Amino acid sequence: MKFKLLILPLIIGFISACGDDDKKQTAPKLKSSTPPNAQISNGDLLQPDATGNVTAFQGATRLKAERTEALRASLSNRKVKNVILFIGDGTSDSEITAARNYAEGASGYFKGLDVLPFTGAYTTYSVDEKTKAINYVTDSAASATAWASGVKTYNNALGIDLNGNVQKSLLMLAKTAGFATGNVTTTTVYDATPAAMISHISHRSCYGPVDTQRKCPKNSLDNPNGNGLGSITEQLLNTRADVTFGGGAQIFSERVLGGKYQGKTLLDQAKEQKYQIVSDLNQMQAITEANQEKPLLGLFANHHLPVSWAGPMASINGNKQPAQKCNTSNPHRPTSIPTLKQMTSKAIDLLKANKQGFFLQVESGSIDRQNHLAIPCGQIGETVALDQAMQVALEFAKHNPDTLIIVTGDHAHTSQIIPNNASSPGQTLSLITKDNAVMTLNYATAHPLSTQEHTGAQVRIAAYGPRAANISGLLDQTDLFFIMRDALGIK
């Protein structure tokens, strides 16, 4: 029997089912859980590891105690002070399952991704710019715009609707309302997911002034009409989140083409705008304050941050080769580059100084990138990194019960777990998991050795904290914007 906790009736139905008579065996009764105090707690976190030997009767089940009272005690519609949104780019059930199997075993669980009590799914489709027809497979820009601004748009667009109208993001609204704000990623700070929170632009590739002048001329600051908002990076500086962490240092050497800072580099502009700029772990940890007077900009690599784990690319008939283990460290990742866990911890530590509260988005962005490249170990390692960052936030929420934590992906992706001896036209690789069993991953949404493609499946979403019950059943990405906005009580 497979369980998926979506809403309370499903739990109750399951409990009833467990009471059915069996002619040969009787399932043990579930113990009642003690409900926590709803006034001081967010409710219990789940511990969904298997109850025993997975080959024994009820040994593989994960439900250890009757959860209805514990979940009821965690129900609250009180005002939320802090919202922390975790995004696994290109992360759906397939990516989570593969990473769990490898790192924790089939009967194990992630201490961040898998413990949130309220779970649902959301649809991710975008809309064609010209025909207005549904596009069932979104890109990261349109999907991020959906939860950042509450509107469907076309692939490659950021912070605008189908007609090019500017749509304010939740980060912008939160900042205006007096909340502290943060934007953390393992990709470049101007990549699609972080960019949706800080920019309005017609194409996601208009990273700096040079690209914007060529690809998005209406947005360029040298637009003759004088109404261009600038490149994504220029808009990032002007949006002025209190904390911004990621990669992309190289683009800050580009020169501004118009406006107040014309002729100066983006780095010069950041310094004149009183940004504190750090480039490694020690510098980041030394910062003690970040706010609107002195926002913090961490640029820890010239481009995307190197991934945490290393391993081979999947290949044609790769599952016919001996199964391998991943290298859980990457020799090409210097220790001076902070991990996602460290960036998340520092961001929370700085943002919590705001008495009104904060909004923080945290992205593990290279789950998607490694999926595109068909590199299973890199993909799994970045999923583990997401889980580790979530554990930091959950520990904070235990002591700050007015904190809402949400985790989801922006779209589904190509990787699939297939039978070990299956014949596939795609790229495959077999890995030896924590169970000492073989797991084969398959990548077959594009011609072998070319960039793999996104897919259109719905994506898991889960939550913990006040108003977390809104994250249940079937939602759309745009629902997430309104759930977070209303939780913070902003308009």
- Three-state SS letters, 309-363: CECCCCEECHHHCCCECCECCCCCCCCCCCCHHHHHHHHHHHHCCCCCCEEEEEE
Residue 101 in any domain: the answer is yes
Please indicate, yes or no, if residue 301 is contained in any of the structural domains.
yes
- The closest of 59, 4, 150 to 490, measured between CA atoms, is 150
In the three-class reduction of DSSP (H, G, I as helix; E, B as strand; rest coil), residue 238 is classed as helix
**Of 141, 111, 110, 138, the residue nearest 122 (C-alpha):** 138
User: Which residue segment(s) compose the domain that 471 sits in?
Assistant: 79-189+240-248+277-488
- Give residue 14's pLDDT: 39
Distance CA 405, CA 380 (A): 22
Is 143 designated active site? no
Instruction: Decide if 72 is inside a domain.
Output: no
Q: Enumerate the β-bridge partners of residue 406.
A: 85, 463
Give the pLDDT of residue 28.
52
- Report if residue 115 sits inside a domain: yes
pTM of the entire predicted model: 0.92
Q: Would you call 406 helix, strand, or coil by DSSP?
A: strand
Would 199 be classed as within a structural domain?
A: no
The pLDDT score that the predictor gives to residue 29 is 60
How many domains would you assign to the chain?
1
Closest CA to 294 of 271, 268, 314: 271
Chain centre to alpha carbon of residue 471: 15
Supply the DSSP symbol for 432. Answer: E
Report the pLDDT value the prediction gives residue 6, as an integer from 0 to 100: 39
pLDDT in tens, the chain (491 residues): 444 443 444 433 433 444 444 434 444 565 554 444 444 567 789 999 999 999 999 999 999 888 888 788 778 888 899 999 999 999 999 999 999 999 999 999 999 999 999 999 999 999 999 999 999 999 999 999 999 999 999 999 999 999 999 999 999 999 999 999 999 999 999 999 999 999 999 999 999 999 999 999 999 999 988 889 999 999 999 999 999 999 999 999 999 999 999 999 999 999 999 999 999 999 999 999 999 999 999 999 999 999 999 999 999 999 999 999 999 999 999 999 999 999 999 999 999 999 999 999 999 999 999 999 999 999 999 999 999 999 999 999 999 999 999 999 999 999 999 999 999 999 999 999 999 999 999 999 999 989 999 999 999 999 999 999 999 999 999 999 999 999 999 98
Residue 350 sits in a domain whose CATH number is: 3.40.720.10
d(CA 80, CA 383): 27
* Sequential DSSP letters for 198-222: T--BS-TT--SHHHHHHH-TTTSTT
CA distance 197 to 362: 11
| Any domain includes 184 | yes
Residues 6+ apart with CB under 8 A from 375: 311, 312, 313, 314
Query: What per-residue confidence (pLDDT) applies to 77?
Result: 85
- Among candidate residues 74, 140, 143, 199, the one labeled active-site is 140
379 part of a folded domain: yes
Sequence-ordered list of residues with C-beta below 8 angstroms from that of 391, at least 6 positions apart, any chain: 111, 112, 341
Burial class from Cβ neighbours inside 10 Å (0-12, 13-18, 19+) for residue 95 reads: buried
* Secondary structure string (H, E, C) spanning 104-116: CCCCCCCCCCCCC
1 assigned to some structural domain: no
Q: Tell me the pairing of strands 427-432 and 315-316.
A: antiparallel
Pairing of strands 276-278, 118-123: unpaired
